[in-house]
Structure 1
Amino acid sequence: LQQRNEHPHWLGTAGHIGKEQIWAQEDAAATAANVPTPFSDIPEQRARNWARARGKVNLDGFVTFENKSDAVIYQEL
C-alpha cells in the first residue's frame, strides 16, 4: 500500500496532528522575525498543511520537493 502512494509525506508517526503545533510555533517565530511564514502563499489551511507535509523550505526561503509530482501540485495550489 505504501508503495502505491504517489505523494508520500514526511511527518513521521505523529502525522498532521503532531506537526500542527510545530507549524504554529514556526509561524509565530517567522512573524516575530518579520519574515514571511512558510507556505503563506496558500490561502486554504488544508492545502497549506498538505504542502508543508511534503515540501522543505531552504535557508533562502525557497520551497523544494523531493517528489516532482508534489512540486507540480504545489504550483497549482
Structure 2
Amino acid sequence: MEEIKIGAQYKCLPVGSQREVIGVVEQLYTNIAVINVTECDPCDELMVQELQNRMVVKYQDIKKSISDKSLAY
C-alpha cells in the first residue's frame, strides 16, 4: 500500500463494517485512520449514519486509493 494521505479517498474495511466502503481520510494516528464515508453498501448504511459518516480503519484494512469519485455500489 502506498503512503496514506489526509484528504485522499480510499476503498477500505472499517472496524465493525460488514463490507468495504469508500471514504476520505480525515485524520491519521499510529495504527489507524479516521475516514469520512462517502459511499457504502446498503447493509452498512444505518450504522454509517449512526456514526455520522465517520469510521475508524486499521492501516492494513485500507485496500486501494480511489481517484475516480464516480464509483457506485
User: Shared fold by TM > 0.5?
Assistant: no
Which of 1 and 2 has greater Rg? Answer: 1
Specify which structure has the higher proportion of strand: 2
- Provide TM-score, normalisation by structure 2: 0.25
Specify which structure has the higher proportion of helix: 1
- Provide TM-score, normalisation by structure 1: 0.25
